[in-house]
Amino acid sequence: MDIRDAFFEEVYQIAKNNKNVVFITADADAFSLEKYKRDFPSRFVNAGVAEQNMVSLATGLALSGKKVFIYCLIPFIAMRCYENIKSNICSMKLPVVIVGAGAGLSFEFDGPTHHAVSDIAVMRTLPEIAIFNPSDAYSAKFSAQASYMAEGPTYVRLDKGFGGEIYKEGEDLSSGLKIIRKLEKTNIISTGFMTHEALKTSGMGVVDLLRINPLNEKKILEIIDSSDQIITMEENCKTGGIGSVLSEIMADNSRNISFNKVALEDRQIFETGTRAWLRIKLKISSKNAKPFDKELSVEDFKKSFGAEELSPSAVKIIEETDFRYRIIEGEEKDELVKHILFKIENDTQIIGAPERTGQWEKGWNENLESFKNSQDLSSITPKFIRPNQAIRLNQQYIMPADHNFENDYFSVFRAWLFEKYLKNYDNIYDFGTGSGYNIVPMAKMFPEKHLYGMDFVPSSPELINRLAKAYGWKMEGILFNMRKPDYSLRIKPGSCVFTSGTLEQVASDFEPFLEYLLKQPFDLCINIEPTVEVYDENNLVDYLAVKFHRKRGYTEGYLPRLRELESRGKIEILKVKRLFFGSLFMEGFTYMVWKKKN
């Protein structure tokens, strides 16, 4: 028996025993209602396509002492009638049962007018109302009885599908939730039809959340406290659904464990197709509910950096940050590789092209205007650093637990690198400073040092100078074109030169800058750059990075040029280290440390 049939069969039995029960529909029907209409015609009302009128009629009948069930499709009864439900039913706490059909993506081919993916969020704003989301026939029957017995309003979401039986007759569901697969380190809390999807996973406990409001907070906290990670699964938008419910509980009760939401993005769902296809397409299938079973340690970072020890500031970041992740494998990896290949094939960006100058000016100006308005240092994060996506680690694709994993990893790297290499220099030159993404951490770590932020578009040095003024840092922004160096700008003797993701943008035209540097009296140069020569093209992840690097035209040949200069006795290379870490498409963090020979 499917969920709707089970629910309406139970309502029939309730009405059979209580002549005070009235059922009203707004022109919505179901085969299982035929018996009710036949046997209790005087207690069945079709209000027509007039949902608000149905709510008003139910209000009057409830005030007259009737137990009223009202029924329609979810978008029309929960969304269209929200104000009527709030003002008429909830304000007086009337015992009306609001029954919505078509939970989640039930009406798979009918598009956004019929998809019910925001109704939980909407109904949760009405604190007087109890919310039930049954997952099978038995829990639907239980929801019918619980709603009938309730002294206040209830909202029941009915799926129109059948996923099989979860509960046996007679099971006690009064707690509003049930552990249906024993708890593990990682546990899934799902609701409604998605509980069947959750049961397709392995190695994780599964909890079915039948009653969303009021929530059994005590039981939920017990589950959280016995878990290392919680995953919520639902056919609802992320905002306001059960993922939001769990987030609020954890925040309110100071619970800090790994948490992941498998839910729809916050948008209207225009895609149509079978429900199984939609779940895969919209990334809410069982394949998306995976535990983050790996975590970076201090030793992992030391190996990545080629460091014997990490600075205390770097260790502190590691200890305070969530560096858990999972390796992307199987079909998920295949899909990701297809996405990367499509991007490479269709990418039209040409590094170093004249029109790119305007793009850089526009990009850094966005950061400048954002800082002007907010005076917030978070506004200097470059827009091209994108959270919430797969990245690369140790020649594999990974999915991080924390959406800022890439940025946090680089923060650890900078904390170690700056402490190791910059602490003995009074003057540091950051060429290609951009939004100040690297020079600001330098200023915070070494407020006594003189820092110079160089860039070839005006908005960047203006931002650096504004930052210096706002925070009292010894920073100066200077306009400087690395492809056409201004030799009147003299680097102070004994200084440190720094680039990060800068030489990549000159499209292999690095010789003018290198010649300029070799004529300056600096002491040390640190370059953190994408370096195509360090990849292993026999590895698929590396091979795709090489293809992306060359398709865009990022700089190559810089490391071989340094080695050639070293062989001629011009420079000494102190360190070259690939971090084996990067973004989805490439690694940008190979660092090269070198100095001139006298």
Nearest residue to 368 via CA among 470, 462, 479 = 462
23: left (phi over 0), alpha (psi -120 to 50) or beta: beta
Distance between CA atoms of 484 and 588, rounded to whole angstroms? 24
Distances in Å between the Cα of 596 and the Cα atoms of 37, 259, 287, 439, 555 are 92, 50, 53, 23, 22
Which residue among 143, 158, 173 closes a domain?
A: 158
Integer angstrom CA distances of residue 340 from 347, 349, 390: 10, 15, 11
Average pLDDT over residues 307-336: 93
Q: Count the neighbouring beta carbons within 10 Å of the beta carbon of residue 209.
A: 25
Task: Tell how far CA 529 is from the center of its chain.
Answer: 27
- Flag whether 278 is in a domain: no
Q: Dump the DSSP string for 342-373.
A: HHHHH----TT-TTHHHHHHHHHHHHHHHHHH
Pick the closest to residue 221 from 241, 248, 194, 195 (CA basis). 248
Question: CATH code at 513?
Answer: 3.40.50.150
Provide DSSP, 197-232: HHTTS-SSEEEEE-EEES--HHHHHHHHHT-SEEEE
Residue 240 CA to residue 50 CA, distance in Å, equals 27
Count the domains in the chain: 2
Does a structural domain hold residue 200? no
pLDDT per position as a tens digit, 481-512:
999 999 999 999 999 999 999 999 898 999 99
CA 544/CA 582 separation, integer angstroms: 13
Within-domain flag for 433: yes
| Spatial distance between the Cα atoms of 431 and 452, rounded to a whole number of angstroms | 8
Smallest Cα–Cα separation from 401: which of 411, 391, 416, 414? 391
Q: What is the pLDDT of residue 406?
A: 93
pLDDT level of residue 171 (50, 70, 90 thresholds): very high
The answer to whether the CB of 233 falls within 8 A of the CB of 204 is no
Q: Which pair of tokens denotes residue 255?
A: 């619970």
16 in a domain, yes or no?
yes
Phi, psi of 111 (to 5 degrees): 75, -170
Q: What gap in Å lies between CA 228 and CA 113, rounded to an integer?
A: 39
Q: Is the peptide bond before 382 cis (omega within 30 degrees of 0)?
A: no
CA distance linking residue 54 with residue 45, whole number of Å = 9
Query: Which residues, 6 or more positions from 432, have their beta carbon under 8 angstroms from its beta carbon?
Result: 454, 455, 482, 499, 500, 501, 502, 503, 505
DSSP-derived 3-state class of residue 313: helix
Check whether 385 has a pLDDT greater than 70.
no
Q: Kindly give the residue spans of alpha helices, DSSP state H, lying in 18-90.
A: 34-39, 51-63, 74, 82-84
Name the token pair of 45.
């009302």
The domain boundary residue, chosen from 115, 130, 158: 158
Give residue 65's domain range: 3-158
CB proximity list for 595: less than 8 A, separation 6 or greater: 523, 524, 525, 571, 572, 574
The residue-averaged pLDDT of 104-117 equals: 94
Residue 317 lies in a domain: no
Residue 140 has pLDDT above 90, yes or no: yes
- Residue-wise burial string across 134-159, b where 16 or more C-beta atoms lie within 10 A, e elsewhere: bbbbbbbbbbbebbbebeebbbbbbb
Continuous segment of H or E residues that includes residue 575: strand 571-577
Question: Among residues 128, 158, 188, which one ends one of the domains?
Answer: 158
Q: Tell me, yes or no, whether 512 lies in a domain.
A: yes
Mean residue pLDDT across the chain:
93
Tens-digit pLDDT profile for residues 426-453: 999 999 998 899 999 999 999 999 999 9
Q: How many residues in total does the chain contain?
A: 598
- Once rounded to an integer, what is the mean pLDDT over residues 279-293? 89
The CATH number linked to 52 is 3.40.50.970
Give CA–CA dist 390/335, Å, rounded. 12
**202-232 per-position pLDDT tens digit:** 889 999 999 999 999 999 999 999 998 999 9
Local structure of 536: helix, strand or coil:
coil
- The predicted pLDDT at position 235 comes to 96
**Position 382 pLDDT exceeds 90:** no
Q: Is residue 547 part of a domain?
A: yes
pLDDT of residue 501: 92
Classify residue 286 by its DSSP letter: G
What is the sign, positive or negative, of the torsion defined by CA atoms of 396, 402, 405, 411?
A: negative
pLDDT score recorded for residue 388: 62
| Phi, then psi, of 517 in degrees rounded to 5 | -60, -45
Backbone phi, psi, residue 332, to 5°: -60, -40
Angle at 232 between CA 226 and CA 236, to 5 degrees: 160
Tell me the average pLDDT across 191-203.
Answer: 93
Partnered with residue 126 across adjacent β-strands are none
pLDDT at 386 over 70: no
How confident is the model at residue 355, as a pLDDT? 67
User: φ and ψ at 460, to 5 degrees?
Assistant: -70, -55
Looking at residue 480, what is its pLDDT? 95
Q: Is the peptide bond prior to 291 cis by the omega test (within 30 degrees of 0)?
A: no
pLDDT > 80? residue 162: no
On whether the CB atoms of residues 591 and 577 are closer than 8 A, the answer is yes
Verdict on whether the full-model pTM lies above 0.85:
no
Q: Looking at the predicted structure, is the pLDDT value of residue 384 above 80?
A: no
| Helix segments in 48-125, DSSP class H | 51-63, 74, 82-84, 119-123
3-class SS of residue 561: helix
pLDDT the model gives residue 402: 83
* 166-170, 293-297, 380-384, 392-396: least confidently modelled range: 380-384
Mean pLDDT of 540-565: 97
The radius of gyration of the chain's CA atoms, rounded to the nearest angstrom, is: 31
Check pLDDT > 70 for residue 467: yes
Distance (Å, rounded) from C-alpha 93 to C-alpha 87? Answer: 10
Residue 513 belongs to some domain of the structure: yes
